[in-house]
Amino acid sequence: MAARVAFLHFVLFASSFAVCGQTKIPIVAQKATAVPQECDKSELLSKGRPIMTAWRNGLALGISLAQQKFKVGEPITLYVWIDNSGNTETDVMTCDDLGHFKAKGFDIFASNQHPVRSRGLTRIKEKCVTDPLTAQGMSLVWLCGRNFPIKIPAHTCSNGDSLDLTTVLTDNYDLPPGDYSVRLRQGANRDRDACEPDEKVPIPTSHLPVLTFSVEKP
């Protein structure tokens, strides 16, 4: 089985993230879910209403946007949510879990339903043509240079402004004016072969939750 991996992280962890809730809400494995009750708190929802998916061992991860309209050149921050619906405290790893989720946990689609490539994926796609062996290794290996646990108490939901709990889409994607959707990847789809043609990326299905946003000219 190919080893997982993600680009090296050398940023310092900012420890501020919100924690709330003590109500157990079951997460259905391999399916995006409604917002767990422990996440449905005003102090957490200031980051937007999340879409969630099961991750592992009673743990769910999610994403949200605090606004839906942006101007060209404005940072577009995607917030990461962690929900521990289990009965015991769980460690969430900064790279193996959060870094992997931010790199391979969701796709962005333009209004024509074509996937929007990240700049990193574009570089790999170019290698797929000029140096397929290197490209395959780049897409299959997940390397963690900064990986430590964040403890999440039982029946608790968390989000925040730290580097581990956010990703700035405009740092990784070219997003010209238009309408976009962000959709969670499900199950084995999280580790798709980066060299597969764009037309093989699963077509978004209407029954799964989605985040939408638009980018407008200044």
Domain positions in the chain are 18-216
Side chain identity, residue 111: S
DSSP character at residue 216: E
**What's the pLDDT score for residue 17?**
42
Judged against a pLDDT cut of 60, whether residue 4 lies above it is answered with no
* Token digits of residue 93: 């790893």
Q: What is the pLDDT of residues 120-168, one digit of tens each?
A: 888 888 888 888 777 666 655 667 788 999 999 999 999 999 999 999 9
For 14, the 3-state DSSP assignment is coil
**What's the pLDDT score for residue 33?**
52
Q: How many CB atoms lie within 10 A of CB 67?
A: 10
Among 140, 118, 114, smallest CA distance to 192 is for 140
CB 82 within 8 A of CB 154: no
Superfamily of domain 18-216: Immunoglobulins (2.60.40.10)
Q: What is the pLDDT of residues 103-124, one digit of tens each?
A: 889 999 999 888 999 998 888 8
CA distance 126 to 113: 22
Determine which helix (DSSP H) or strand (DSSP E) holds 202, and give its type and residue range: none
CA distance 39 to 33: 12
**DSSP per residue, 139-158:** HH----SS--EEEE-TTEEE
Where do we find the tokens 């638009």?
214
Q: What is the pLDDT of residues 166-198, one digit of tens each?
A: 999 999 999 999 999 999 987 767 777 777 777
Q: What is the CA radius of gyration of the chain?
A: 17
DSSP character at residue 94: I
For 136, the 3-state DSSP assignment is helix
CA distance 108 to 213: 10
Residue 88 burial by CB count (10 A; 0-12/13-18/19+): exposed, middle or buried? Answer: exposed
Judged against a pLDDT cut of 70, whether residue 206 lies above it is answered with no
Whole-model pTM: value is: 0.80
Helix axes 119-130, 132-140, angle to 10 degrees: 140
Residue 184 bridge partners (DSSP): 106
**Could you tell me where the DSSP H helices lie in 49-166?**
100-104, 119-130, 132-140
